[in-house]
Amino acid sequence: MVNTDSLPPTRLIVGISGASGVRYGIRLLEILRDTPIETHLVLTRSAEITAAHETRMKIDAIRSLADVWYKAEDIAAPISSGSYRTIGMIVAPCSIKSMSEIATSLTSGLLARAADVTLKERRRLVLMVRETPLHLGHLRTMTAVAEMGAVIAPPVPAFYANPTTIEEMIDHTIGRALDLFDIDAGTVSRWKETAQ
For the segment 62-96, what is each residue's pLDDT rounded down to a tens digit?
999 999 999 999 999 999 999 999 999 999 999 99
Note the pLDDT tens digit of each residue in 92-136.
999 999 999 999 999 989 999 999 999 999 999 999 999 999 999
Any residues with CB less than 8 A from the CB of 32 and at least 6 apart, and which? Answer: 12, 14, 39, 185
- Considering the domain boundaries, does residue 1 fall inside one? no
Q: How far is CA 112 from CA 68, 77, 133, in A?
A: 18, 12, 23
What pLDDT is recorded for position 192? 77
What is the overall mean pLDDT for the chain? 93
In a domain, 191, yes or no: no
Distance from C-alpha of 151 to C-alpha of 145, rounded to nearest angstrom? 8
3, part of any domain: no
Distance CA 107, CA 114 (A): 8
What pLDDT is attached to residue 195?
47
For the domain that residue 106 is a member of, what is the CATH number?
Answer: 3.40.50.1950
Which residues form the domain of 75? Answer: 8-179
The pLDDT, as a whole number, for residue 62 is 98
Degrees, nearest 5: CA angle 108-177-188: 155
Q: In the predicted model, is pLDDT for residue 178 greater than 60?
A: yes
* 8 Å CB contact between 14 and 40: yes
Domain contains 188: no
pLDDT at position 160: 87
CB within 8 Å of 114: residues ≥ 6 apart? 13, 15, 42, 77, 79, 80, 89
Residue 31 belongs to a domain: yes
Domain count, the chain: 1
| CB-neighbour burial class of residue 85 (10 A; exposed 0-12, middle 13-18, buried 19+) | middle
In a domain, 119, yes or no: yes
User: Would residue 59 count as lying in a domain?
Assistant: yes
